[in-house]
Chains A and B, each alone.
Chain A
Amino acid sequence: MKNLQDDRDSIVAKYSQTVWRLALSRTRSEDAAEEVYQETFMRLFQKERSFDSEEHRKAWLIRTTLICCKRYWSAAFRDETLSLEEVTDIACYPDEDKGVMEVLLRLPAKYRIPLQLYYVEGLEPDECAKVLNIRPVTFRVRISRGKAMLKEKLKGEGIYV
């Protein structure tokens, strides 16, 4: 029992940020992210799952997080068009990073999530494409366009990178 608990603790500790960041970025709501975060880990622990490697586990978690986000928003009762003004969750970021996060969250999800997976979570392009269920070439196009859009928007906000 203890080993099981230790195992669980270490897994959560290791992937907590990844799942949280992705959930927050995808849902743009801390409240929704909490639910997605919880559900993702509950899914992981409710069944005995075997993974070939840590990369496999990470990919599974990312994929499940994205699925949970999708299912969360697909509920008929939810409003997907959450305005940025409603997004109070950005307050959890330090001031100097708020601007970057705001601009990132303003990007369409199809560019936002690939950028995050590639730059923040450190997945390889092919892994990203697999997790997102898109072709590698599509992924590369999105990264390229997303990056250009992000730069442009950051510039518009007076943030130069």
Chain B
Amino acid sequence: MFDQTTFDRNDALGQRLRSACGKANPPPALERAVKLGVPYAGKVSTGLHVRKFAKAVVSYAVCVVLLLGAVYLGFRLLSTQTPAATQPPVTAPTDTTDSIKPVEPTDSFPYTALPNDPELLLRLAQYGAPEVMDAKLNALGLKLSTKPLSTPSMAELRLILRDLGYDAYTTINDPLNNGSQPYDDATYTTVPLACYPTETGELVLIHSLIHSKQVTPYRNLLMMVLKSEGDTYKCIANFHPDHHITGRITDPNTTAKVQYNVNRLLNILALSGTKPEITQSPDEATLTALKDYLSSSPIIETRTSFYKPEHYDLYELALSNQAVSSLTARKYGLTGDETKWCILKHSDVENQLRTHLGISLAPKAWDALSEQCWDGSSDVVYVEEINTHFVYMEKERNSFALNQAFQAFETTDGRMIVYLLNDDHHVTVLLNPTEDGSYHIGAVQVLEDSNIPDEEAALFKPSTLITGTGIETRTVALPTVNLPTVALPKITVFPVHSPR
């Protein structure tokens, strides 16, 4: 059927083709990057098409959800119009003394409904935990009611907050602080989330503080105590549990990476007997359910692949960035005693990042940081505070685009651990001190996330461990990189474990 000469590889055409094609070579830098297992400049997005497809799916899903939401709201509006004719609607009061009535004990349950936001649910479960609330309320001589009492509806709570001036205010006009902290000119709004009565009729209100200038949505949960005064309420205390009670569960940036599985959480809550849409005063069962959820979630699976599982408490790990950083230290063979938080000058951190990683902090990074945890009077930043807040960085001359966030801390033996994050990679850098006071890079570990082919479930996968000179080509643009100056403990990349 075929002429044998057709398949002669050594005919003139074959030789010409080989000659032409044989001279094609990939760029040397690309070849080198592939050998090292690090992304090539401008090609950090391996699996780009996968993410684009995922983005398209997500966009489509969001549209569908919005559409369904609009339809649902429409039905709700229609269905509530009929009873509204028989019940007086909640309207904005013209005279606050007549509009808001203090809470009267009744037999009705439950407390005010919560939004179905897993992060908020988790955080609220912490903030609303009796031991947490009690600690603060005790200082005021108050105690949460153990009897079922009715609380104002969400609409009524909004009116209460509005009457108190908390619907939209600036810090300079903070109703509670009397303008004592005019540190920025942003407008804040408080959104009520949950409400618990005390034995003496006060309302303990958990609310979210919305910052008008926050680029990244940052829901700052606060606790406010409202005391009834005749026919109205007065705010007698305003706590910031975000920083002072429990620490943060997670940063919004991390949340984007470490996605909570909403359905899974809600299912577990439902299994535990807690209706997701209605919260009760968080109890042991709820907390246990949350703990179970966390311990079996993909977060833990993937973290397990990063950290030695025996070194941490699952619950703590998921709930605390500080614990994560502490575990980063332990990953390098440091014991718990060695990971006490040290105090660093932020200029030191900045210098070290610039010198060793070629990264500069965006000016606003420190502004944001100082707003949260810098005391403003000195150059000192408490690292444990840093670790509760990701700090934005801008890409400068590194080809790796480590441009979003970092955590850094120093160990008591003088080593520095920097944790970097961007859309595609989690990078942990261990810096070893030298005699001249500078640092050398001891190790770099790069984790890539879900753009791995084969569509496996794990969010993060250990990909490459690079040490010594291996870093200098692509991971970061380093002026000089020396081999590790200390013998590092062996670092093992663990396989992804199945949920415990």
Contact = CB atoms under 8 A, between A and B. Distances in A.
B186 interface: no
A73 to B, nearest CB: 9
A37 B26 contact: yes
A42 B34 contact: yes
A100 B16 contact: yes
A119 B20 contact: no
A147 B6 CA distance: 8
B24 A24 contact: yes
B52 interface: yes
Interface stretch (B40-48, B116-124, B243-251, B406-414): B40-48
Main SS at interface, chain A: helix
Given A17-B24, A17-B25, A38 B17 contact: no
Given A38-B34, A38-B46, A42-B46, A119 B40 contact: no
B102 interface: no
Contact of A12 (B9, B34, B463): B34
A101 to B, nearest CB: 5
A25 B46 CA distance: 20
List 6 tightest A-B contacts by C-beta distance, closest first. A97-B20, A100-B20, A20-B26, A75-B49, A161-B12, A120-B21
Interface string A38-50: 1101110111000
A75 B52 contact: yes
A151 interface: yes
B26 A76 contact: no
Contact of A37 (B22, B30, B53): B30
Interface of A: 1, 5, 8-9, 12-13, 16-17, 19-21, 24-25, 33-35, 37-39, 41-43, 45-47, 71-72, 74-77, 92-94, 97, 100-101, 104, 115-116, 118-120, 122, 125, 140, 143-144, 147, 150-151, 161
Given A75-B53, A144-B6, A101 B20 contact: yes
B363 interface: no
Contacts of B19: 97, 100
Contacts of A35: 43, 45-46, 48
Interface residues of B, number: 48
B500 interface: no
25 contacts: A8-B35, A8-B37, A12-B31, A12-B34, A13-B31, A20-B24, A20-B26, A21-B21, A34-B42, A38-B39, A41-B34, A46-B452, A46-B461, A71-B49, A72-B49, A93-B24, A100-B20, A101-B20, A104-B17, A119-B13, A119-B18, A120-B18, A140-B7, A144-B3, A161-B12
A92 B9 contact: no
Given A12-B34, A75-B48, A97-B23, A38 B13 contact: no
B304 to A, nearest CB: 18
A34 B27 CA distance: 8
Given A12-B34, A34-B30, A75-B52, A125 B24 contact: no
B224 interface: no
B2 A144 contact: yes
Contacts of B16: 100, 161
Contacts of B37: 8, 42, 45
A34 B26 contact: yes
Nearest to B470: A5
